[in-house]
């Protein structure tokens, strides 16, 4: 009943809200600036409804940090921000709106670091007779390429290789957990950033995973793949982050992800964070086991070929290798079948010894085997020919040398004949060699 009355009161107040024109802030290049409540730092008036519309080019992102924050506190009865509040709406690349919680009171909120290029900040005030200074927020427009991976922390200093990032133009890579394949560090958070060209996406395949004996031991160690273009509140509201679906978490070992397609992830855009979080090291029961930790292969994907060879996103796969895809059937014979995604990958990734197509599709490395056979056969044949040539040459050389020796010997014998007419030994010796 009381809540209802407040709602009615609020609605009446809103109807009287003063006109506060939408403030458009747009910059296509990196910049920084401030947004403030009307009249800041003087107390704001009642009946305000202001919107700040911040936009930038798609290659940039917007971040907000709160410099000063003093709004009316939460309503004591409903524990909600009713009198005045700030609402941050992040619009993602797909046009979806992510509405944050209402912010009020005088606790300075955590920074909001989005990976998006469109944000709206709404300020509503309905409370009369209250003296609050309002807010001052710094917005920063940054180039998306300049955003680094979140910080890593290593619990045991003797390990290395905790976190990192791909290099510009890289098309494929491998990520190993620190200490792989023997162990992994405890109390650590390792963040790896994979960033490819804006037109590309990232396909991640888990080659090996062994973190804990059971899948329930997520606290011990877990591997998470975070799609970089989700709206993420770094370090602030955990609840909001975990409600996002564009995240894949892996615990235990690969035994629990035996079905095809379970050990891979295709990003929605060109950025992904791979995160290893550990509290403890490997379980004692795992000591001595092979390949503890994880190994990941990632590939920059140029496009996806859908059914009927229609290219998704209008990206032609010209001069690229198109993975064959094929079908995956749950049961042999008359089971349920689905076709695998056909990735377009850079032609330099074909026959590089790493399989870059989706799980179960080995087409990029398939005909390399026969190619190898042909190469090694050709090589073997040349070797044989070469050996024969050498043998023939040596034989010729030996024959010629023996002939020379014989000629010398014969001359010596002929000289001897002049002195001694009866010497048959040397003639007999010549005969076997003709």
Ligand X SMILES: *[C@@H]1O[C@H](CO)[C@@H](O)[C@H](O)[C@H]1NC(C)=O
Residue 97 within binding range of ligand X, rule CB under 6 A: no
Buried b (16+ CB within 10 A) or exposed e, 349-379: bbbeeebbbbbebebbbeeeeeeeeeeeeee
Stretch of 47-55, 174-182, 299-307, 402-410 contacting ligand X, by CB under 6 A: 47-55
Residue 28 within binding range of ligand X, rule CB under 6 A: no
In terms of CB distance, is 151 or 330 closer to ligand X? Answer: 151
In the complex, minimum distance from the CB of residue 134 to ligand X, in angstroms, rounded to a whole number: 20
Stretch of 48-56, 144-152, 217-225, 304-312 contacting ligand X, by CB under 6 A: 48-56
Longest dimension (CA), the chain: 147
Give CA–CA dist 178/393, Å, rounded. Answer: 57
In terms of CB distance, is 53 or 65 closer to ligand X? Answer: 53
Pick from 5, 22, 379, 403 the residue near ligand X by CB under 6 A: 22
Residue count, binding to ligand X (CB under 6 A): 7
* 184, 211 contact by CB (below 8 A): yes
Pick from 13, 37, 47, 55 the residue near ligand X by CB under 6 A: 55
Residue 153 within binding range of ligand X, rule CB under 6 A: yes
Nearest to 103 by CA among 89, 86, 90: 86
Q: How many residues does the chain have?
A: 434
Give CA–CA dist 172/202, Å, rounded. Answer: 9
In terms of CB distance, is 55 or 166 closer to ligand X? Answer: 55
In the complex, minimum distance from the CB of residue 91 to ligand X, in angstroms, rounded to a whole number: 8
In terms of CB distance, is 22 or 393 closer to ligand X? Answer: 22
In the complex, minimum distance from the CB of residue 178 to ligand X, in angstroms, rounded to a whole number: 14
* 231, 181 contact by CB (below 8 A): no
In terms of CB distance, is 20 or 286 closer to ligand X? Answer: 20
Residue 396 within binding range of ligand X, rule CB under 6 A: no
Residue 53 within binding range of ligand X, rule CB under 6 A: yes
Question: Under rule CB under 6 A, which residues in 154-173 are in contact with ligand X?
Answer: 155
In terms of CB distance, is 51 or 254 closer to ligand X? Answer: 51
State the DSSP string of 149-203. Answer: PPP-B-SSTT-----EEPPTT--EEEEE-TTTTT---SSEEEEEEEE--TT-EEE
Q: Is the peptide bond before 262 cis (omega within 30 degrees of 0)?
A: no
Q: Is the peptide bond before 41 cis (omega within 30 degrees of 0)?
A: yes
In the complex, minimum distance from the CB of residue 17 to ligand X, in angstroms, rounded to a whole number: 15
Tokens standing for 166? 């791909």
Residue 181 within binding range of ligand X, rule CB under 6 A: no
* 101, 116 contact by CB (below 8 A): no
Pick from 187, 339, 382, 433 the residue near ligand X by CB under 6 A: 187
- For ligand X, the binding residues (CB under 6 A) are 22, 51, 53, 55, 153, 155, 187
């Amino acid at each position: 009943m009381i809540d209802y009355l407040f709602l009615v009161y609020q609605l009446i107040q809103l109807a009287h809200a003063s006109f506060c024109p939408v403030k458009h802030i747009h910059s296509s290049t990196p910049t920084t600036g401030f947004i403030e409540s009307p009249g800041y730092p003087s107390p704001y008036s009642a009946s305000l409804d202001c919107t700040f519309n911040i936009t930038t080019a798609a290659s940039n992102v917007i971040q907000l940090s709160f410099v000063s924050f003093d709004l009316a506190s939460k309503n004591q009865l409903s524990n909600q921000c009713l009198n005045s509040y700030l609402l941050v709406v992040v619009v993602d690349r797909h046009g979806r709106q992510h509405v944050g919680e209402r912010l009020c009171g005088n606790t300075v909120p955590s920074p909001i670091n989005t990976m998006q290029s469109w944000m709206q900040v709404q300020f509503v005030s309905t409370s009369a007779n209250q003296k609050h200074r309002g807010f001052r927020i710094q917005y920063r427009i940054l180039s998306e390429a300049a955003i680094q991976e979140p910080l890593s922390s290593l619990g045991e200093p003797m390990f290395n290789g905790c976190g990192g990032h791909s290099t510009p133009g890289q098309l494929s890579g491998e990520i190993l957990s620190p200490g792989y394949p023997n162990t992994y560090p405890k109390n650590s958070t390792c963040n790896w950033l994979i960033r490819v060209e804006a037109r590309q996406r990232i396909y991640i395949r888990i080659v090996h995973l062994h973190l804990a004996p059971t899948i329930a031991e997520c606290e011990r160690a877990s591997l998470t793949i975070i799609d970089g273009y989700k709206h993420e509140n770094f370090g602030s509201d955990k609840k909001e982050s975990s409600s996002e679906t564009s995240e894949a978490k892996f615990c235990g070992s690969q035994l629990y992800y035996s079905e095809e397609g379970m050990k891979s992830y295709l990003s929605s855009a060109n950025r992904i964070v791979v995160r290893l979080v550990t509290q403890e090291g490997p379980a004692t029961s795992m000591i001595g086991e092979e390949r503890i930790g994880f190994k990941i292969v990632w590939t920059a994907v140029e496009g996806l070929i859908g059914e009927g060879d229609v290219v998704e996103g209008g990206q032609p796969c010209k001069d690229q290798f198109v993975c064959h895809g094929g079908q995956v059937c749950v049961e042999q014979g008359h089971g349920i079948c689905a076709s695998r995604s056909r990735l377009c990958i850079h032609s330099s990734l074909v026959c590089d010894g790493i399989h870059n197509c989706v799980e179960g599709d080995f087409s990029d490395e398939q005909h390399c085997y026969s190619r190898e056979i042909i190469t090694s056969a050709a090589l073997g044949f040349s070797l044989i020919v070469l050996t024969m040539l050498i043998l023939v040459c040596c034989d010729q050389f030996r024959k010629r040398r023996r002939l020379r020796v014989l000629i010398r010997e014969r001359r010596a014998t002929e000289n001897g004949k002049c002195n001694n007419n009866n010497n048959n030994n040397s003639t007999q010796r010549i005969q076997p060699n003709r």
